[in-house]
Structure 1
Amino acid sequence: MEQEYHAGLSSAEMANLWTTYQGDSMSICVFSYFLKHVEDEDVKKLMTRALDISRNHVEMIRRIFKVEDIHIPQGFGEQDVNLGADSLFTDVFYLHYVKQMAKGGLETYSRLLPDIYRRDIRAFFSNCLTSTVELNDAVTRLMLEKGIAVRPPAIPEAKKVEFVEKQSFLLEGLGDRPLTGLEVSNLHKNILTNELGSALATAFSQVVESDRLRKYILRGKDISIKHVRVFTDYLNNHSLPAPTTIDETVTDSTEAPFSDKLISYHFNLMTYSGMGNYGSSISQSQRSDLAIDYSRLLTEIMKFGEDGINIMIDNGWLEQPPMAAERKS
């Protein structure tokens, strides 16, 4: 029987395990709090499933790091969540939240897997991808059943094979052509993620203790609203519907369910996820005006994200990720 050489963790393997631990330890806090307030039994089952997935991920990573004699990250824990806090969200918000988190997980795991070579780590992340596919399917079916799923706009079916004849297909100013299916889909996706970010900003701004963090979060809300307006205009200008706000899924509670550290990390996590979405959208946009707008908005949220990282650094909240050896000294 062939025996596999047990190599040490590569930079990709260690970094992605570390990042996954951070994200899932945060999710354990978030889903545990959600479960204290969820009312609908179907939504409760979904929340329980999401919580179990995050707990399994954290436990598996702890085992791997222990075997490899790697320091286990601090991440987030009981000190970062107040399970007795009043309800800050409605059941409808929970479904939108899980949908967007599952979408982010699918993109992350599919992107990192090609760089994973050790068999046990490949198996772990393959399992992460599979469980997230199943979670996404479950939340999508439930949102359809509850009548709150927001599908991308429909476009006409192709009746024949056609070829691009003019450069105005790329240079919008020369032809103002209709949006492609991918461009419509990406605009829809980026509106949804910004609407979720806006709702989270509304909630978090009500409960954070730090005035500096509150101002930062409200600035993020303003950016989300502006970006939604830009993307919505593209759809409306081509008689296509755009998703609407979900701010009404946030209650008026002012009792903090999470620590400022967790809130800051969560908000920055969504900011950097948005950067990835915009980068992907640029690569799939064949209209020059659309690519330019994505690039402009991406620059804005990059600056915003940097300011958020500085808040975490100044408060001692930013845990240092695995680093390459410092050779120069």
Structure 2
Amino acid sequence: MKQKEIITSSELATLWMTYQEKTMFLRMVEYFHAVNEDKKEQNFYESHLNRLSKEIKKIEAILQAEGAVVPNGFSEQDVNKQAPPLFQPTFALQIMRILAEIGMGLHAIHLARSYRKDIIRLFQELSATTQHCYEECTELLIEKGALSCPPQVSMPEQVDMVVNTQYLKGTNIFGNKRVLNTVEISFLYQSIESNSIGQQLITGFAQVTKDPELKKFFTQGKELSKKIITKLSKKLMDDDIQIPLAWVGSPTVSTIAPFSDKLMLYCISLFCSFGLGSNAIGTTFSLRKDLPSTLIPLITNIYDYGVQGAELMAKKGYTEEPPGMENRKNIINKK
């Protein structure tokens, strides 16, 4: 008989991380479904509730088959489906779209760390489901006129080559600052869009939490998002490039929390990780020297804010410890 493949530490880590993310996503979808009155959007949420529930059960089944404890993740105690709407329906879709975008990136990373066929297949299925969610959110938002698309550009008619280092310095042959290229614009635009949504999301969290420390933390995050939007928008406007103008939505006046403090802190930590990754990639692919000099300090700000959030999670007892390796010294010295 073929010996059963043992799950690796990397695979256990990816399953554990995915369980945290998916159970959080499930709780948020449950709430958005409960407070939404639009039939088409209700069908969308209901569809993804069913898919998320099945995905979570698959992860639980793999862990249980390996004799591993199932993480706590986020349970029904982390959502209040009776709470009034905290966000307008269109903005709830914006949140779903960003979370799907984060999920797509995470699944790609986790797939690359998988070796067993069933786990590879799991992340392929998760990727397909998340891509479908992203596509549906995008279509619904475009239908409602609530999604600003990046600016159009004239199509290139020939291939141009970089012939000297002036291009990398961010200048043209006359020594003037060159216009941003489409690669650079795409990263700037995406960062402005995600921070615009993050700013409103964290504003909503700030107005419903009863914890003074979290209220202060969320308010700081709101100001950081505004700072990022202002600095990156200036880079686009300096080159007469349109910035995201579509109204993304805002919180309602509700002060009743639909989510636990634990869930809200974890959600913001995901946004911080997403911001760190996307800005780091944007820095790598930017060929105009003034862009990294703008992005790197912002990356530092995001990192510091993320660390502050992690410390709050630990202080409040919200952090679930990931599975650890065996401590061989303790085993050897055990009497």
Q: Structures share a fold, TM > 0.5?
A: yes
Equivalent-residue separation in structure 2 for 1:130 and 1:308 (angstroms): 31
Local SS of the residue matching 2:112 = helix
Alignment of 1:251-290 (within 5 A): 251-290=252-291
Aligned residues: 327
Code of the residue aligned with 1:71 in structure 2: it is V
Deviations 1:115-167 (A, max 9, x none): 21100001111000111122222222222222222211112210112111231
Separation in 2, partners of 1:133, 1:292: 33
Identity of aligned residues (%): 31
Whether 1:242 aligns to 2:243 is yes
For each residue in 1:272-305, what CA deviation from the matched residue of structure 2 results, as whole angstroms up to 9, or x when unmatched? 1111111111121111111121111101111111
1:222-277, CA deviations, whole angstroms, 9 ceiling, x for partnerless residues? 00000001111111111111114756431010011111111111111111111111
Unmatched 5+ stretches in structure 1: none
| Alignment CA distance shift 1:120-1:10 (3 Å) | same
- Partner residue, 1:109: 107
The 5 A counterparts of 1:161-172 are 161-172=159-170
Q: Residue deviations 1:177-227, cap 9 Å, x none?
A: 111111111111101111111011110011001100110000000000000
Counterparts of 2:4 and 2:133, CA distance in 1? 32
Return the match for 1:153 from 135, 151, 154: 151
SS of the aligned residue for 2:323 comes to coil
Answer yes or no: is 1:81 the counterpart of 2:79. yes
Report the residue type matching 1:102 in the other structure.
Answer: A
CA separation in 2, counterparts of 1:144 and 1:9? 42
Preserved CA contact (<8 Å) 1:153 1:185: no
Q: Which amino acid aligns with 1:139?
A: C
- Number of the residue aligned with 1:34: 32
Letter in 2 for 1:66: Q
TM-score (norm 2): 0.93
Q: Which residue of 2 aligns with 1:23?
A: 21
3-state SS of paired residue (1:66) = helix
What is aligned with 2:333?
none
Matches within 5 A, 1:32-181: 32-172=30-170, 175-181=176-182
Shift of 1:104: 1.3
Q: 1:314: Cα distance to partner?
A: 0.7
Structure 2: gaps (5+ residues)? 331-335
Does the CA contact (< 8 Å) of 1:105 and 1:132 recur in 2?
Answer: yes
**Is the Cα contact below 8 Å between 2:146 and 2:248 reproduced in 1?**
no
- The structural deviation recorded for 1:114 is 2.2
Cα separation, 1, equivalents of 2:2 and 2:151: 49
Q: Could you say which residue in structure 2 is the equivalent of 1:220?
A: 221
- Whether the aligned pair in 2 keeps the contact of 1:92 and 1:249 (CA below 8 Å) is no
Farther-moved stretch of structure 1 (218-227 vs 234-243): 234-243
Query: CA offset at residue 109 of structure 1?
Result: 1.4
- Aligned AA (2:61): R
1: CA distance between counterparts of 2:20 and 2:36?
A: 24
Does 258-267 or 245-254 show the bigger shift?
Answer: 245-254
Change beyond 3 A, Cα 1:303–1:327: farther
The question of whether the paired residues in 2 share the 8 Å contact of 1:65 and 1:72 is answered with yes
Q: Give the structure-1-normalised TM-score.
A: 0.95
Q: CA deviation at 1:54?
A: 2.0
Amino acid corresponding to residue 228 of structure 2 in structure 1: H
Cα shift readout 1:51-91 (whole Å, capped 9, x = no counterpart) = 22321221111111110010111111111111111110111
Contact kept? 2:147, 2:248, Cα under 8 Å: no
Whole-Å Cα distance in 2 between the matches of residues 48 and 292 of structure 1? Answer: 45
Counterpart residue number, 2:233: 232
What does residue 188 of structure 1 align with? 189
Q: 1:175 to 1:14 in 2, by over 3 A?
A: farther
Q: 1:246 to 1:255 in 2, by over 3 A?
A: farther
Cα offsets for 1:19-65 (capped at 9, x unmatched): 11001111111111111111222222222223223212211111111
2:2 and 2:193 map into 1 onto residues whose CA distance is 45
Closer, same or farther in 2 for the Cα pair 1:282/1:222, shift >3 Å?
Answer: same
Assess if the C-alpha contact under 8 Å between 2:146 and 2:246 holds in 1: no
